[in-house]
Structures are given as C-alpha cells and as structure tokens.
C-alpha cells in the first residue's frame, strides 16, 4: 500500500517448474492501494505482474515485460480505479483480466488479452486513497477504458508458453488477439483512438480507432543483456488516427468504487509523458508508449 516499486530487473522466476500454484510472479502484490509500479524490466517469469485484489488507485507505468510464460499482467478481482499506461507487453498473453474498472492507456501490446468474470468471489473496494472498506462485490467484467493503445499480434513466441497449475498451453493460446471478449461483459467498456495492426481485433464499439489488417509493424525485442532495444516499423496510420490527451476528466470514475482516476496524492491525472519521460503532444498524442515515433523503421532503447 502507498508504495513505489521502480528500476528493478526481475527475471528467471519459476525456472525449474517444480511446482505450480499461487504467488508465482515477478511481482505479486495484494492490496496495492495507491502503489506505483514503474520503470521495471520483467521477463522469463511465470506471470510478470500479479495484481491481486484491492489494487485501487494503483498505477502500472512504463514497464517492459516480455518472454513471460503465463502472461505479462494478471489483474485478479480488483474493482478499480487503476491505471495501466505506457507499458511494453510482448509476451504471448499480455493481460489476464479478471477485474473491472481499469484504464489501459498508451500501451504497446502484442499478446492476447483474456477477460473473465469471477461472479462467486466478493472482494473489497475502498473509499478513495484509504484502506477503509466501502463495500464488497463480485467481478462481472467491463467498466474498463482503452485509449491510445497500439496493438499488433505476435504469435512467434507461442512455443514458449508454459501454463501454471493444471491448465495447458492450448488453453492459454485458444483466445484470439483482440478485445472482442468484452462483447459479453456486464458493464460498458469505453474504447477510443486505438491503433489495431496486422489483424488484431478491435472491441467494435469504438470511436476514432483505426484498423489496418494487412500492415505488419515487425515488432521485435533485442535483449543485449544490460541493454534492451525495440525494433519496429510504423506506417502512415500514426498520422491518420485521431487522439486526445488522457486525463482524469476523460477517464471519469470507476463504477464500483465511485472513485476518480487520480494520482496517489489525490491530484488530477494527466498522461503527458511517454515511456521515456518525453513530453506528449497536448492536442494529439501518439498512440502507444513512444511520443517520438516516426514513420518507417526504427530502433528504440527501452532499458
């Protein structure tokens, strides 16, 4: 609670595969109220980040996650508001979302997204910026927000998937790349100004999003040990898509907690910096984590 976790290189977790079960992750946290997890490099773990209930007010910002065997981010029975922004998520499964009330903003995602309700577990939500419990409720899915993200599927690492517990890799990989699972969510989802490339499927009920099914940005991570580089190619879609600056006002309030998307100190939230700390355009910020992305091939150091 009320903590910061930053600047860590976390890797080689669950390498012997001697047992499965809970708590296997690069970072596993219960009750991460108003915690900030930023600027970490997490790879070759079971789950990269595991946010397990009461992650209200948490911010997951500017982390690079790749080669994780289960998924990069597992959100378990949270009710929001929480923020996931400016992250690079490149594992075969990017997000396992068994929560509601999240804001996903300016991320680069190449893996699958699994959305699942949890109608039998009652978990707490809180008064804003407090440990005081305001109520208990189950997870019916939805009430999420997706703004200014860059999606492109990559199945080249599917052979690396090793599922924990009794599930099989086939179970993890049967889901298609896209946000279409939200079609059955109980609560409405807000989604706008996302760029979908190379067949990644949009939510469907979006405004100002752009889909280019045939363009492959050839996203590739190069791990040089102490340094990590991201290779990708951008096309003219970057200039065509209409975006807006993401703020507390745009995100509104999480339905269950009736709480705004704010900074841990209660101040208004503005996503005006990118993955590298560069200022974003206040009128039309670029999709994805990098504000200085240009058309053509490029290499970006991300660690």
On whether the CB atoms of residues 11 and 45 are closer than 8 A, the answer is yes
CA-based end-to-end distance of the chain: 27
Q: What is the CATH number of the domain that holds 108?
A: 2.160.20.10
**pLDDT lower than 50: segments of the chain:** 166, 168
> Is 255 within the bounds of a domain?
yes
On whether the CB atoms of residues 77 and 121 are closer than 8 A, the answer is yes
Residue 278 CB neighbours (<10 A):
11
> Is 233 within the bounds of a domain?
no
> Is 228 within the bounds of a domain?
no
Sheet holding 195-197, edge to edge: 9-11, 41-43, 64-66, 88-89, 108-109, 150-151, 195-197, 210-212
Query: 88: number of CA atoms within 13 Å, CB side?
Result: 27
- Cis, bond preceding 225 (omega within 30 deg of 0): no
> How far is residue 200's CA from residue 212's CA, in Å, rounded to a whole number?
9
State residue 24's pLDDT score: 86
State residue 41's pLDDT score: 98
> Is 225 within the bounds of a domain?
no
- By residue range, what is the domain housing residue 171? 4-15+24-216+242-292
Phi then psi for residue 181, to 5 deg, are: -65, -20
Question: How many domains are contained in the chain?
Answer: 1
> Is 234 within the bounds of a domain?
no
> Is 229 within the bounds of a domain?
no
Q: How far is CA 292 from the centre of its chain?
A: 21
Q: What is the pLDDT of residues 278-287, one digit of tens each?
A: 999 999 999 9
> Is 166 within the bounds of a domain?
yes
> How far is residue 195's CA from residue 108's CA, in Å, rounded to a whole number?
10
> Is 275 within the bounds of a domain?
yes
Q: Per DSSP, what are the bridge partners of residue 223?
A: 228
On whether the CB atoms of residues 8 and 31 are closer than 8 A, the answer is no
Q: What is the pLDDT of residues 228-263, one digit of tens each?
A: 999 999 999 998 999 999 999 999 999 999 999 999
């Amino acid at each position: 609670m009320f903590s910061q976790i930053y600047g860590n290189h976390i890797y080689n977790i669950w390498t012997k595969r001697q047992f499965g079960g809970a708590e296997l992750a690069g970072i596993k946290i219960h009750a991460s109220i108003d915690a900030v997890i930023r600027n970490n490099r997490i790879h070759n773990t079971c789950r990269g980040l595991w946010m397990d209930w009461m992650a209200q007010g948490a911010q997951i910002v500017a982390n690079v996650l790749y080669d994780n065997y289960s998924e990069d981010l597992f959100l378990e029975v949270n009710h929001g508001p929480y923020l996931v922004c400016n992250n690079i998520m490149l594992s075969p499964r990017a997000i396992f979302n068994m929560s509601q009330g999240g804001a996903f903003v300016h991320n680069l995602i190449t893996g699958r997204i699994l959305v699942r309700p949890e109608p039998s577990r009652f978990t707490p939500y809180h008064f804003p910026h407090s440990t005081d419990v305001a109520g208990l409720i189950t997870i019916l899915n939805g009430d999420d927000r997706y703004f200014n993200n860059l999606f492109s599927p990559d199945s080249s690492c599917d052979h690396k998937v090793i599922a924990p517990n009794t599930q099989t890799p086939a179970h993890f990989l049967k889901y298609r790349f896209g946000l279409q699972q939200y079609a059955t969510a109980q609560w409405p989802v807000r989604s706008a100004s996302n760029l979908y490339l190379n067949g990644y499927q949009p939510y469907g009920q979006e405004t100002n999003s752009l889909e280019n099914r045939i363009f492959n940005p050839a996203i590739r991570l190069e791990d040089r040990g102490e340094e990590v580089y991201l290779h990708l190619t951008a096309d003219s879609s970057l200039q065509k898509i209409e975006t807006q600056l993401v703020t507390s006002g745009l995100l509104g309030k999480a339905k269950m907690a009736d709480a705004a998307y704010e900074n841990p100190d209660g101040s208004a939230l503005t996503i005006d910096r990118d993955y590298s700390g560069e200022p974003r355009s206040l009128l039309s910020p670029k999709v994805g984590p990098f504000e200085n992305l240009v058309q053509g091939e490029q290499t970006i150091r991300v660690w």
